[in-house]
Amino acid sequence: MLVLADASAAREHLVTDLVVLGYRPLLHPETERPPTEPAPGVALILTDDVRNHAVPSSEALRRTDAGRSMPLLWLVDEADLGNLAGNEHLLDEFLTVPYPTAELGARLALLRHRSAGELEDAVRRGPLVLNPLTYQVRLDGRALDLTFMEYELLKLLMGFPGRVYTREEILSLVWGYDYFGGMRTVDVHVRRVRAKLGQDHAWLIETVRGVGYRLAEVRV
């Protein structure tokens, strides 16, 4: 159980509660670089400043291999709840401080149960994580807003990185043999997926001129 928090009475109280609930908290100050080695369970960020502490700490954690798929729980002051808006992609759950110990235990149990099922079947390709159970793709921890066909297209390419699919293959495997649309459909959807990946990650889908498309070979 990873705990990112500066030294405070609230942190000591949180650590005590985690021990009582049967967890082994691993303390890591928010102001330091997030750990790069995997830590079991859920990551918790205890903060009284969402914008200047929770947000940058979560962004840094999501950029690491260890934290990319780790469930993240924020513990925040009630007065700071308004700053959660726009940052929902950086956390999986939140609790206001002070909190009932029983509620903390319940939230952690739910996160662990949810992530256990998700991680078992998840497909990871570099910064991309595809969850076939929830039909969701995350990029560096951020959920992508994909249509069903965009999801199916990316799922196909993520299945075999480096494998080149012709437009005809993509059309038949994603849209089906009875689809009467033209090859332009594939190009349009590839452009849309690249746009949602963003400028920094559009390169993940490579064009093989005169043939089709493939997912770049990246470290799993």
**Domain 2-120, what architecture?**
3-Layer(aba) Sandwich (3.40)
Angle, alpha carbons 130-52-112 (nearest 5°): 35
Neighbour count for residue 161 (Cβ, 10 Å): 18
Provide the whole-model pTM.
0.55
- In percent, the amount of the chain with pLDDT more than 90 equals 28
Which pLDDT band, with edges at 50, 70 and 90, does 163 fall under? Answer: very high
How far does Cα 143 stand from its chain's mean position? Answer: 6
Task: Decide if 161 contacts 216 (C-beta within 8 A).
Answer: yes
Give me the mean pLDDT over the 32-47 stretch. 66
Arithmetic mean of pLDDT over the chain: 83
Cα distance between residue 99 and residue 122, in whole Å: 32
Please tell me if the domain spanning 2-120 has the same topology as the one spanning 125-215: no
Give me the mean pLDDT over the 45-63 stretch. 85
CATH of 125-215, one of 1.20.1090.10, 1.10.10.10, 3.40.30.10, 1.10.8.50: 1.10.10.10
Instruction: Give the SS3 label for residue 18.
Output: helix
Q: Can you give the residue ranges of every domain in the chain?
A: 2-120, 125-215
Cα distance between residue 34 and residue 197, in whole Å: 24
Handedness of CA 90, 94, 98, 99 (dihedral sign): negative
**Block residue for tokens 């918790």:** 44
Q: Is the pLDDT of residue 60 over 90?
A: no
CB neighbour list of residue 3: distance below 8 Å, 6 or more residues apart? 11, 14, 15, 18, 25, 26, 27, 28, 43, 44, 46
